[in-house]
Amino acid sequence: MTSEAPATSAYAQLEAQWRRLSLVGDAIGALHWDQSVMTPPGGAAARAEQIATLKVLRHEMITESRIGDLLEQGVPELAATTGERGAGEGRWRAANVDEMRRRWVHATAVPSDLVDAMSRAGSHCETLWRDARAKSDFESVRPALEEVLTLTKSIAEAKSAALGCGAYDALLDSYEPGGRSANIDVIFDEYAAFLPGFLDDVLSRQDNAPTPLAPTGPFPAEKQRALCRRMAEAVGFNFDEGRLDESLHPFSTGTPEDSRITTRYEKDDYAFALMGVLHETGHAMYERGRPAAWRHQPVGDARGMTLHESQSLIVEMQACRSRPFYEWAAPVLRDAFGGSGSTWSAENLYRRAIRVERGFIRVDADEVTYPAHVILRYRLERAMLAGDLSLRDLPGAWNDGLQALLNITPPDDRRGCLQDIHWYDGAWGYFPTYTLGAMAAAQFFETASAQNPDIVDGLRRGDFSPLMTWLGNNVHSQASVTSTDGVIEAATGRPLDDAAFKRHLRTRYLEN
């Protein structure tokens, strides 16, 4: 809390309430981590009950009748006590009230019983999804997913009326404040048109070059874990204030003082776990870099998932799949697994890291084809929410869509519509931020590298501090004081577009 106003002022009361809300949210996050990492199968129902109860409590706290009145009082109060809206502390307080109001509108649009039902349905469906995915049995989880979708539609309709936008955009706004599908359609349609010819050129170039050698396993989980810890530490992750654990789907959660990242170890390929950790470390560094003075206030939170994904992808894709990075990392990888020979050379490992192929799995996809996976999910979830696609037809629609985008068809649902956790645990409207984040990452890295050449030189010696300093100053520290485009434009000189991303792809895959 930063208030200099009297403790009884409307604004001070709002800050106090949002601090409590933030702490309850931290507790929910810890329980979600436990649910994914530590909870035994028999404890799933109890953990779901606890999470649902806390979500309802949080919802009731934000929808208290007095909150709307305090928000109305807080705006003129701030104008009288902090002076010019655009100056210093006043700017942050005004943005704090704006973000409080946005969250209040989202919350008051949805009744508590619907919040409770959605939490329980998501927890139940996610539990069933884990087994269904392993067995490639979509039908076994479809009834539970039907319930999640029905509840999601109800939430979308309620928020749509409150926000004055379309149902899909109302869900998108929860993850990307101010994001609109009309803008996304333009970006995604342009990339879908760009991809076929570009992908053909990349694959043709690959076919005319020696195939990178694949290091042979097995790679013991213990050695992978040690390597992942070392790489996370190089980026800046502090294990005195964080943990690395295992989960079916890699994720990052926790608080700046207690970061939790997870990954999954594959015995025949260390790269999955390593890149997963680097990706999640990028997320954690963003959380750790948020301004301490505004902790537990909405304005101090990360500014939506586009920027969050940009911070994970600038580490994983822009930095850690670059040739300079492998000049440092190759000896580290070789020593970690006792490798030798040309397979473990920097150039071979780099070429393997940027290998492009038409694959079925989003989380394994290269950065050229990855946007196609996101475009597919974006189009499908919009169709399901609009009622234009039934869940019974989802597997076939998924397969047809991937065939159209990448000219491949999944052989089973495990490698098709069952591969992601998001829909099954209730995260609808999230997927577009992955590719928007990739484009933002390219724009940030291009600008940062031009402003400070030591960023790229630092990667050659395993020193991420020049990059992290730039990100801290230009992204992390800005939190939610302005919009996503506001952060991007202030850092790079222009709003988000796909130009830097396409330049990056052409340079890395056709010219380098």
Q: Which amino acid is at 53?
A: T
The three-point CA angle 70-76-79 to 5° equals 130
Task: Find the helix or strand (DSSP H, E) in which 254 lies.
Answer: strand 252-255
Q: In this predicted model, what pLDDT tens digit does every residue of 91-125 receive, in sequence order?
A: 999 999 999 999 999 999 999 899 999 999 999 99
Q: Is the pLDDT of residue 85 over 60?
A: no
Per residue in 319-336, pLDDT tens?
A: 999 999 999 999 999 999
What is the percent of the chain with per-residue pLDDT over 70, rounded to a whole number? 97
280 a catalytic residue: yes
Which band of pLDDT confidence, cut at 50, 70 and 90, is reported for residue 81? low
Q: Residues 483, 177: contact at Cβ < 8 Å? A: yes
Q: Give the residue extent of every domain in the chain.
A: 10-167, 182-511
pLDDT at 2 over 80: no
> Is the confidence at residue 6, as pLDDT, over 60?
no
- Which residues make Cβ contacts (< 8 Å) with residue 115, sequence separation at least 6? 55, 56, 59
359 backbone dihedrals φ, ψ, rounded to 5°: -115, 165
86 pLDDT above the threshold of 90: no
Q: For residue 74, report the phi and psi dihedrals to the nearest 5 degrees.
A: -65, -35
What is the chain's Cα-based Rg?
Answer: 23
CA distance 415 to 32: 25
Would you call 1 helix, strand, or coil by DSSP?
A: coil
Mean pLDDT (the chain, rounded): 94
- Indicate the pLDDT class of residue 363, thresholds 50, 70 and 90: confident
The arithmetic mean of pLDDT across residues 80-97, rounded, is: 75
Instruction: In whole angstroms, give the CA distance from residue 467 to residue 473.
Output: 10
Q: Give pLDDT, residue 82.
A: 54
Q: Which CATH number fits domain 182-511: 3.90.76.10, 1.10.10.60, 1.10.1370.30, 3.40.50.2300?
A: 1.10.1370.30
Q: Is the peptide bond before 143 cis (omega within 30 degrees of 0)?
A: no
- 224-269 residue pLDDT tens: 999 999 999 999 999 999 999 999 888 999 999 999 999 999 999 9
Q: What is the structure's pLDDT at 248?
A: 83
Whether 452 has a pLDDT exceeding 90, the answer reads: yes
Report the length, in residues, of the chain. 512
Catalytic option among 280, 316, 367, 381: 280
